[in-house]
């Protein structure tokens, strides 16, 4: 039978693949999207993680900052992103105090700094974030255009001390010259360590790149709650791709590419193929290498443990001055002082799981109860998501995964309980079969479930969102930052130049590159 020919075949049905499918099909191209697993959305999905309980959690990714308004408007996505009332709460380990950063109340934030004995840092903190705000306002509008050059960024920011400090010097230097308190320094550093195993002073600046993506989103750096959970975001993208006429196939794992042909296999092992004028790779670049018969050049390594919990109520804090719904209403940092983050980095370097494991928590159901059944809402139940840092995938080399998962889960729960007035287990709900509502995902679990090599949530190390001044940017794919190592294949996922996180940018940039090249 002759192969069917498509203008574009997209490999990977995560939110980026869906974004590309929506843009390209709406532009009139014939589009086939192939997704290996049984459902669409990739790392942007909601799931009944605890069967029979009535809670649909954002199973992997949970907050949105990097999805541009332009993509929402272009594709007519019906989604609501809700601002959280509080920015963060960080208990001081071993004490009954903590730092509450309250968006809505600068006076309360000031009092919290002072209560911690860190009043002298208020000015440095404000200045640091005024400087990141300058970066955000300059860089954010560029993300929906072709890659800017570094010199463009300098001109847009208009203050070379800011670009030098954040783009050229290890993040640790700017933190240490801005604020003095160990806990305050730690709160800043955490944004540089999301799925990024690093020390504040690493000279490769991966922690700076990660930090940058965490402070520029929307021009404000706010991280908002997707109402209905992350599945609502990928669901809206799926609908847009459907409306455009894209053909979306699950249970279709691409096994080879070449000479304009794409071959995939279903769960029963049956193979199919199609001809493609253009292939977009919206899965991890490391998987592309393997499909092309090559070993990836560098190891893609995540550095987090993710634990989802369903609780009968919010736990009580050791710090009685802060209500639980305020502490859990923003990002709750546990054991993330600057010293603890560095100690954890060194422990992992020596091959040990950090103890206590630094982690941040987020409670979806405070800002958006709609993910809970009416009964759970009435009962006062809440979801918690814990995202632990400085736990690189290499720690699992040669380990028995089940044993390691149990050890990691214990470490995360102990870390959490260390800042509570009661063990967290006391408020964990149990499923009808008697198991506790706790779901733990190591980097290896993510690799298995999502084909994210090494559990790296960005598909590999993040890249600066600009090109160097002397970099050749020949052709539409290079200008949009979506070239791959292989002819005829463009990157369209998190592993593209500016694609990490829930942003749709990988898919959007690849679609723009294709449409631009066709117009030439
Ligand atoms: C635990 C966790 C927490 C996170 N938290 C956040 C957060 O709060 N906010 C945020 O912005 N980002 C977060 N992220 C990162 C963000 O979710 C990802 O960077 C983003 O979702 C990647 O989207 P994508 O579409 O590029 O790729 P993915 O979502 O990874 O989708 C790629 C798809 O390709 C499929 N695939 C792989 N190989 C093949 C093949 N051979 N053939 C066919 N299909 C294939 C996979 O099954 C997968 O569905 C988190 C990620 C994780 C894992």
Question: pLDDT by residue (tens digit) across 440-477?
Answer: 999 999 999 999 999 999 999 999 999 999 999 999 99
Residue with CA nearest ligand 1 atom 7: 61
Q: Which residues is 99 bridged to in the sheet?
A: 90
Residues 341 and 386 in one domain: yes
Pair type for strands 382-388 and 305-311 = antiparallel
Lowest-pLDDT choice from 1-10, 251-260, 492-501:
1-10
Residue with CA nearest ligand 1 atom 14: 61
pTM for the complete prediction? 0.97
Nearest Cα to Cα of residue 319 among 183, 158, 477: 183
Nearest atom in ligand 1 to 16's CA: 25
How far is residue 171's CA from residue 206's CA, in Å, rounded to a whole number? 9
Flag whether 380 is in a domain.
yes
> What is the reported pLDDT for 2?
60
Instruction: Give the number of other Cβ atoms within 10 Å of residue 391's Cβ.
Output: 28
Mutate to test the pocket of ligand 1, among 61, 290, 455 (most ligand atoms within 8 A of CB): 61
pLDDT (average), residues 147-175: 98
> What is the reported pLDDT for 81?
98
Ligand 1 surroundings by CB, under 6 angstroms: 11-17, 34-37, 42-44, 60-63, 66, 253-254, 282-283, 287, 306, 446, 450-452, 457-458, 493-494, 499-502, 506
- The pLDDT of residue 320 is above 60: yes
Residues 257 and 199 in one domain: no
Residues 327 and 447 in one domain: yes
DSSP 312: S
Nearest atom in ligand 1 to 495's CA: 26
Flag whether 19 is in a domain.
yes
Flag whether 60 is in a domain.
no
What's the 340 CA to ligand 1 centre distance in angstroms?
Answer: 29
What's the 89 CA to ligand 1 centre distance in angstroms?
Answer: 28
How far is residue 498's CA from residue 500's CA, in Å, rounded to a whole number? 6
Flag whether 57 is in a domain.
no
Residues 450 and 309 in one domain: yes
Residues 434 and 485 in one domain: no
What's the 393 CA to ligand 1 centre distance in angstroms?
Answer: 17
Any idea what the CATH number is for the domain that residue 17 is in? 3.50.50.60
The residue count for the chain: 520
Q: What percent of the chain has pLDDT over 70?
A: 100
What's the 231 CA to ligand 1 centre distance in angstroms?
Answer: 12
What's the 125 CA to ligand 1 centre distance in angstroms?
Answer: 33
Residues 450 and 305 in one domain: yes
Residues 317 and 427 in one domain: yes
Flag whether 292 is in a domain.
yes
Flag whether 338 is in a domain.
yes
Residue with CA nearest ligand 1 atom 41: 254
Determine the straight-line distance between the first and last CA of the chain, rounded to whole angstroms. 34
CA 437 vs. chain centroid, Å, equals 23
How far is residue 493's CA from residue 505's CA, in Å, rounded to a whole number? 8
Residues 213 and 269 in one domain: no
Residues 449 and 388 in one domain: yes
Nearest atom in ligand 1 to 255's CA: 41
Residues 331, 87 contacting (CB under 8 angstroms):
yes
Flag whether 354 is in a domain.
yes
Flag whether 53 is in a domain.
no
pLDDT (average), residues 478-499: 97
Residues 308 and 358 in one domain: yes
Nearest atom in ligand 1 to 19's CA: 25
Mutate to test the pocket of ligand 1, among 9, 10, 11, 12 (most ligand atoms within 8 A of CB): 12
CA dist 236 → 76, 169, 232 (Å): 9, 40, 6
Q: Is the dihedral of CA 182, 178, 125, 132 positive or negative?
A: negative
Q: Which band of pLDDT confidence, cut at 50, 70 and 90, is reported for residue 520?
A: confident
- The pLDDT of residue 1 is above 60: no
How far is residue 7's CA from residue 492's CA, in Å, rounded to a whole number? 15
What's the 126 CA to ligand 1 centre distance in angstroms?
Answer: 34
What's the 154 CA to ligand 1 centre distance in angstroms?
Answer: 32
Nearest atom in ligand 1 to 67's CA: 11
Buried b (16+ CB within 10 A) or exposed e, 93-130: beeebbbbbbeeeeeebeebbebbebeebbebbeebbe
DSSP string, 34-81: E-SSSSSBTTS-EE-SSTTS-B-EE-S---BSS--HHHHHHTT----E
- The pLDDT of residue 219 is above 70: yes
Residues 476 and 515 in one domain: yes
Nearest atom in ligand 1 to 43's CA: 29
Residues 209 and 146 in one domain: yes
Domain count, the chain: 3
Nearest atom in ligand 1 to 63's CA: 8
Alpha helices in 292-437 (DSSP H): 324-327, 338-349, 364-367, 374-379, 401-417
Q: Which of these three, 427, 455, 483, is where a domain ends?
A: 455
Residues 40, 19 contacting (CB under 8 angstroms):
no
Instruction: Give the number of other Cβ atoms within 10 Å of residue 427's Cβ.
Output: 20
Q: Which band of pLDDT confidence, cut at 50, 70 and 90, is reported for residue 113?
A: very high
Helix (H, G, I), strand (E, B) or coil at 469: coil
The domain in which residue 396 lies consists of 85-118+301-455
pLDDT (average), residues 129-155: 98
Q: Which residue has the higher pLDDT, 299 or 380?
A: 380
């Amino acid at each position: 039978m002759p192969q069917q020919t498509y203008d574009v075949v997209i490999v990977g049905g995560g939110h980026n693949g869906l974004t590309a499918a929506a843009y390209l099909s709406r532009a009139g191209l014939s589009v086939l999207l192939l997704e290996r697993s049984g459902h669409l959305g990739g790392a942007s999905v909601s799931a009944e993680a605890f069967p029979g309980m009535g809670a649909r959690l954002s199973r992997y990714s949970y907050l949105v900052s990097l999805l541009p308004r332009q993509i929402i408007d272009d594709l007519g996505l019906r989604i609501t992103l809700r601002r959280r009332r509080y920015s963060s709460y960080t208990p001081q380990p071993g004490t009954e105090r903590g730092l509450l950063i309250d968006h809505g109340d600068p006076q309360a934030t000031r009092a919290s700094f002072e209560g911690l004995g860190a009043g002298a840092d208020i000015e440095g903190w404000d200045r640091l974030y005024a400087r990141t705000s300058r970066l955000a306002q300059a860089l954010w509008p560029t993300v929906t255009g072709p890659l800017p050059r570094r010199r463009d960024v300098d001109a847009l920011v208009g203050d070379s001390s800011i670009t030098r400090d954040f783009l050229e010097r290890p993040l640790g230097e700017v933190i240490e010259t801005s604020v003095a308190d160990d806990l305050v320094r730690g709160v800043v550093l955490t944004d540089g360590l999301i799925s990024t195993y690093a020390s504040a002073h690493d000279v490769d600046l991966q922690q700076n790149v990660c930090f940058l993506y965490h402070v520029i989103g929307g021009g404000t750096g706010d991280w908002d709650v997707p109402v209905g959970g992350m599945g609502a975001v990928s669901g809206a993208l799926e609908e847009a791709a459907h409306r455009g006429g894209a053909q979306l196939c699950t249970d279709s794992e691409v096994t080879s590419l070449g000479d304009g042909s794409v071959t995939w296999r279903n769960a029963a092992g049956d193979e199919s193929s199609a001809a493609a004028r253009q292939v977009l790779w919206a899965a991890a670049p490391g998987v592309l290498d393997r499909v092309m018969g090559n070993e990836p050049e560098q190891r893609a390594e995540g550095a987090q443990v993710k634990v989802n919990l369903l609780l009968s109520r919010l736990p009580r804090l050791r710090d009685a001055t802060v209500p639980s719904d305020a502490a859990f209403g923003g990002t709750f940092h546990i054991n993330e002082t600057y010293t603890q983050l560095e100690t954890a980095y060194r422990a992992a370097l020596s091959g040990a799981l950090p103890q206590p494991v630094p982690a941040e928590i987020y409670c979806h159901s405070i800002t958006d109860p709609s993910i809970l059944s009416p009964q759970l809402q009435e009962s006062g139940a809440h979801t918690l998501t814990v995202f632990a840092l400085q736990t690189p995938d290499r720690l699992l080399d040669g380990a028995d995964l089940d044993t390691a998962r149990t050890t990691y889960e214990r470490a995360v729960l102990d870390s959490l309980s260390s800042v509570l007035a009661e063990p967290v287990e006391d408020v964990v709900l149990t499923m009808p079969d008697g198991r506790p509502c706790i779901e733990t995902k190591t980097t290896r679990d993510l690799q298995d479930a999502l084909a994210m090599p090494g559990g790296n949530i960005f598909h590999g190390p993040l890249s600066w969102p600009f090109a160097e001044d002397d970099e050749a940017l020949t052709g539409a794919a290079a200008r949009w930052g979506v070239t791959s190592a292989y002819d005829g294949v463009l990157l369209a996922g998190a592993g593209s130049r500016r694609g990490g996180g829930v942003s749709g940018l990988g898919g959007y940039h690849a679609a723009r590159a294709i449409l631009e090249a066709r117009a030439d």
